[in-house]
Amino acid sequence: MSNVTEDEALFRDSVLEFAAREIRPHVREMDELAKMPRPLIDKLFELGIMAIEIPEAHGGAGATFFHAVLAVEALSSVDPSVGVLVDVQNTLVVNAVLRWGTDDQKQRFLPKLATGTVGAYALSEAGSGSDAFALTTRAVASGDDFRLTGRKLWITNANEADVFIVFATIDPAAGYRGITAFVVERGAAGFSVGKKEDKLGIRASSTCELLFDDCLVPRANMLGEAGKGYKVAIETLNEGRIGIGAQMVGLAQGALNHAIAYTKDRRQFGKAIADFQGVQFQIARAATELEAARLMVYHAARLRDAREPFLMPAAMCKLFAADMAEHVSSLAVQLFGGYGYVKDYPVEKLYRDAKIGQIYEGASNLQLQTIAKQILG
């Protein structure tokens, strides 16, 4: 695969080997039960891929954002549900603490996130999806604490997480300039995890509502400055979109791998269907689209690691990779024929998983809007 060093390729291959050994045997069961076994999550921590950018001094791998992208891609080629668990942990939660956390917050939370604590990122609400800053969750100062009241929806990793990055407004009249980020720990008084969504795809990845009923959060858990939560959200989500691009690239690679193997084995009219030019051309086009998406994701990740502007490349790679994954996974189902439509074969699940790429962490229309603003000024 393109544009990786020897060390990065070895890292990617080690994650691929882990995914084949530890995840693949459980993919169908996890999808049917809509649950990820805790022992598997523990193995992700043991492998070090839940703490890729956390410094070694805090128990992490001390590696790069690009390594996180490679891990998400590799895992997603087997199960995108596991890919997004690792993605949210690294590109959203860990990055937010690394960039915006105080020394005290880093000392308290990074070792936990490196060794066994799953994180979640709570921005969306019923009335603030694409319009993320229309949120109504309120934070009211109370001595050395804040009291949070409100409800969050569509929160990935919520069932498994013990640390949540939560966005609330300290001044509704100030609009987006009132939004503030907080670190909320499971077990905080007034905080609970509510309904778990029954989803079309990535079913083993939990998506739940969060309830805050006068939830007490120490002032020391404010992440970044008061009223600057919008900056925390924008900057981390820009990175998260690269991670979702990687998830979609991995998903498409997995679907294409299955399709290629099947077309070589499946015989019609006396020969393998891979020998028909009509099939060959479809696979060639899919592989070309996939490689283009991969290069876009890698380019955006390299820019981020180099501390160069990456807003438009991030939006472009997520937009293109999400569309590509839907197309490639659909082609895989088509090439499998009737078998592609049943759960005994893996491609129908990847087809269901692909749709979310055009929806979460910024719907495709928002990516188009971002790209257009950058181009047109």
At position 285, the amino acid (one-letter code) is R
Mean pLDDT, residues 158-169 taken together: 98
Which of 299, 292, 238 is CA-nearest to residue 66? 299
* Residue spans per domain, the chain: 6-118, 120-228, 231-376
Non-local CB neighbours of 338 within 8 Å, separated by 6+ positions: none
Does residue 118 have a pLDDT over 60?
Answer: yes
Q: Check residue 89 and give its pLDDT.
A: 98
Question: What average pLDDT does this structure show over 233-243?
Answer: 96
Given the residues 125, 160, 209, 361, select the one marked as catalytic: 361
H or E stretch covering 271: strand 271-272
Tell me what pLDDT residue 328 has. Answer: 98
Residue 219 in this model has a pLDDT that exceeds 60: yes
pLDDT interval class at 132 (50, 70, 90): confident
In tens, the pLDDT along 3-28 reads 899 999 999 999 999 999 999 999 99
Residue 95 vs residue 131, higher pLDDT: 95
Average pLDDT over residues 243-268: 98
Among residues 270, 260, 258, which one has the least CA distance to residue 345? Answer: 258
Tokens for 26, please give them.
């459980």
Check whether domain 120-228 has CATH 2.40.110.10, yes or no = yes
pLDDT tens per residue, range 245-256: 999 999 999 999
What pTM was computed for the model? 0.97
DSSP letter for 188, please.
-
Given this model, what pLDDT does residue 3 score? 82
pLDDT at 1 > cutoff 60? no
Residue 133 has pLDDT above 90, yes or no: no
pLDDT tens across 26-48, in order? 999 999 999 999 999 999 999 99
Fold for 6-118, please state it.
Answer: Butyryl-Coa Dehydrogenase, subunit A; domain 1 (1.10.540)
Judge whether residue 228 has pLDDT over 80.
yes
Q: Are 111 and 58 in contact (CB under 8 A)?
A: yes
User: Residue 3: which of 247, 288, 296 has the closest Cα?
Assistant: 296
Mean pLDDT of all residues in the chain?
97
Distance from C-alpha of 116 to C-alpha of 358, rounded to nearest angstrom: 30
- Looking at residues 88-96, what average pLDDT do you find? 98
The proportion of the chain whose per-residue pLDDT surpasses 90, expressed as a percent, equals 97
Whether residue 361 lies in the annotated active site: yes
If pLDDT is split at 50, 70 and 90, which confidence band does 2 have? Answer: low
pLDDT digits (tens, 9 = 90+) for 327-373: 999 999 999 999 999 999 999 999 999 999 999 999 999 999 999 99
The helix/strand/coil state of 161 is strand
Give DSSP secondary structure letters for 81-118.
Answer: HHHHHHHIIIIIIIHHHHHH--HHHHHHHHHHHHHT-E
Rounded mean pLDDT of 200-220?
98
Q: Do domains 6-118 and 231-376 have the same CATH topology?
A: no
CB-facing half-sphere around the CA of 282: CA atoms within 13 A: 20
Interval 149-164 mean pLDDT = 98
Q: Given a cut of 90, is residue 77 above it in pLDDT?
A: yes
Q: What is the pLDDT of residue 92?
A: 98
Decide: 333 and 347 in contact? Cβ < 8 Å: yes
Phi, psi of 154 (to 5 degrees): 65, 40
Pick 231-376's CATH classification: 3.30.565.10, 1.20.140.10, 1.10.620.20, 3.90.1300.10: 1.20.140.10
Q: How many residues does the chain have?
A: 377
**Which stretches within 142-273 are classed as H helix?**
229-265
Q: What is the tally of helices (H) and strands (E) in the chain? A: 12, 10
